[in-house]
Structure 1
Amino acid sequence: MIAEAIDTLITLGWAMAGWLIVLSAVFTVLILATSTIGAYAATLAWRHLIRPSWAYGRTQARNLAARHLRRPTGHTAPHDYREAA
């Protein structure tokens, strides 16, 4: 009777060790995949959202500048050349 209990405990211990190894491997793969996807997303955001306009290429930079910069309208206030006090 005691021998069967000890045998059952040993079997359950091996089963728990096996599940621990399998689950740790699965969680390791999930953590590495998540961090890889996050790093890829951060790299894409860094390359496509934060770059200066000249880094996109000549044509894209010209189009970006045309969309984001205001062209002068020619209606400016006259210059005031009075001396500052």
Structure 2
Amino acid sequence: MSEPDREPTEKPTHDSAEATHEGQWMARNWLAIAAVSILGLLLLTVGMLQATGLVSVFAPVADTETQQWGAFAVLALGWVLLAGWSWSAVTG
């Protein structure tokens, strides 16, 4: 059985201003992750509807099916970049 850490990973805050700032930082970053997750689920839903042929969301901007999937890929890439940015703000 391994021995637990003797030092806490984060030091407790003793100042109320520091605690308030840390709480706001946590709320802002976790809200960003939640928004990226919701956008990801929406993008997944649109992709599934597009794949089954139930909708043609990108028809106004793309004529062929390949162009429509290209537009979807651009949105997916943007989502991946946004997800990476929001996650790096939390871990960094």
Name the TM tier (shorter chain): 0.3 to 0.5
Structure with greater Cα Rg: 1
Which structure shows the bigger proportion of residues in helix conformation?
1
Q: Work out which structure has the larger RCO, using CA pairs closer than 8 Å and 6 or more positions apart in sequence.
A: 2
TM (norm. structure 1) is: 0.46
